Amino acid sequence: MTAFDRDYHMSINGKLASSATVIDVINPATGEAFAAAPDCSREQLDEAVNAARTAFRSWKRVPIDERAAQLDKAGDVILQHLEELTRLFTQEQGRPTEGARGEIALAGNWLKTLSKVRPPVHVSEDSDQQFIETRYVPLGAVCAIAPWNFPVNLAIWKIAPALLAGNTMVLKPSPFTPLCMLKIGELLLDVFPPGVLNIISGDDSLGPQMTAHPGFAKISFTGSTATGKKVMESAAKDLKRVTLELGGNDAAIVLPDVDVDEVAEKIFFGAFFNTAQICVATKRLYVHEDVYDKLRDRLAAIAKAVKVGDGADQGTVLGPLQNKRQYTRVLELLEDARQNNLTLIEGADVPGNGGYFIPVTLVDNPPESARVVQEEAFGPILPLLKFSDIDDVIARANDSEYGLAGAIWTGDPERGLEIARQLETGTVWINQNLNLRPDTPFAGHKQSGFGVENGMEGLLEFMVPQAVYLAR
């Protein structure tokens, strides 16, 4: 019987592994350590990589339908432990129970859905003279590094396609949120053969050791653009393949024909769900001058009514910032806004118990040059910016080094499509937000990413084409 409140181990070569040193795991609702996770040594990293490389030789020969069946079973195992993982998730990540449960359930079902995908086989010629076939083959051992904002589902985004394709993996969750993935590794020990899925944990020094390790064929990284550049530089030394899902400063555009009462709550949670710690959350809200005041006031009223607090408490809607580093950064942005005399509209009071809580804050029509507009806050700050001309606002929305996602809110769907196709982002939503699917590619433009996750395109990121020519 797996205990979820203690005994956190790494999974290396089909066995549980402890370490000589540990890292503290902080509950962000209290600011206090509540558990410890292993701090992987260099020798253990080498062991995990060697195990993945050895397992690859046999795993790639397992028929894809059998690999898929094991992924489907892994999804079932996660769903069977939904409630235990939910409680642990809220403790280490901070998200309230309902949202935590949603991520764990999504992760289990994501595995089950991806298990049904199959890579294509292209036949260029099938004649009396020759047969030419292009198929896709796996790469080898994959280095996967997952972030702290969606620590389970974004890890599954890597595990599912990589293993289905026939690769093996060494996964490192964030040192801020390692526990759920360590427990999932323990739960899946009997699902996959030894060495196929290895899950290790450690401090910030472990990631660079992994990306520089010569035993990996590919790196799949989700995190900040600044760190993504370092990962790409590290991968270049021995030409590892890379997939990078990086930062965003996502713009939403609200046209004057919207029903403000209908869309206000959707817009609010498109910006602030998970305490705004989402790479594709709305981070710049451009509102037409005809509806600006009404929408601002509606958003402010929602912010005043939403309960912010410990995610384990009943009725909590928004939790704390996940870690002190991010908490400090968001406070600095708010202080900069105050120093520049920007108008801040604060939401409901937050606990003052030492947890990483910041009130939901709207910034009323700041200048485009303000730091809260130009930088990705990744916290509960939303600048509202007034516009009158649609061509101008499209240019303002596109004037960013990022290009991850965007949104259009309008009463005219066709007009929404026309504007969406002018945005320089990998994903655009019209009259919705935060909708990502396992069967649809997710990619960042500009400095928001390199490569693709999800969909057939995401699966093929973990494979390489092989053309076979047969003379007859």
| Residue 245 annotated among the catalytic residues of the structure | yes
b/e per residue 401-410 (b: at least 16 CB within 10 A): ebbbbbbbbb
In whole angstroms, give the CA distance from residue 100 to residue 316. 12
Length, in residues, of the chain: 472
Q: Are residues 253 and 270 in contact, defined by beta-carbon separation less than 8 angstroms?
A: no
The two three-digit tokens of residue 74, written as one number? 């892994």
Distance CA 99, CA 317 (A): 9
Residue recorded with tokens 């700050």: 381
**Amino acid sitting at position 215:** G
| Separation between Cα atoms, residue 244 and residue 45, nearest integer Å | 22
Helix (H) or strand (E) run with residue 199 in it: strand 197-199
**360 neighbors 350 (Cβ within 8 angstroms):** no
34 three-class SS: strand
Tokens representing residue 355 in the block? 């947890």
Residue 15 DSSP one-character state: E
Paired strand residues for 464 = 137
Q: Residues 92, 103, 245, 461: which is the catalytic one? A: 245
Q: Is 180 a catalytic residue?
A: no
Q: 180, 279, 453, 461: which one is catalytic?
A: 279
Neighbouring-strand partners of residue 463: 138
The three-state secondary structure class of 376 is coil
DSSP assignment of 318-346 equals B---SSHHHHHHHHHHHHHHHHTT--EEE
Is residue 435 exposed (0-12), middle (13-18) or buried (19+ Cβ within 10 Å)? exposed
* Residue that has been written with the tokens 């390489």 in this structure: 464
Token readout for 271 is 């910006």
Radius of gyration (C-alpha) of the chain in whole angstroms: 23
What is the spatial distance between Cα 287 and Cα 300, in angstroms, rounded to a whole number?
Answer: 14
Residues carrying an active site annotation: 245, 279
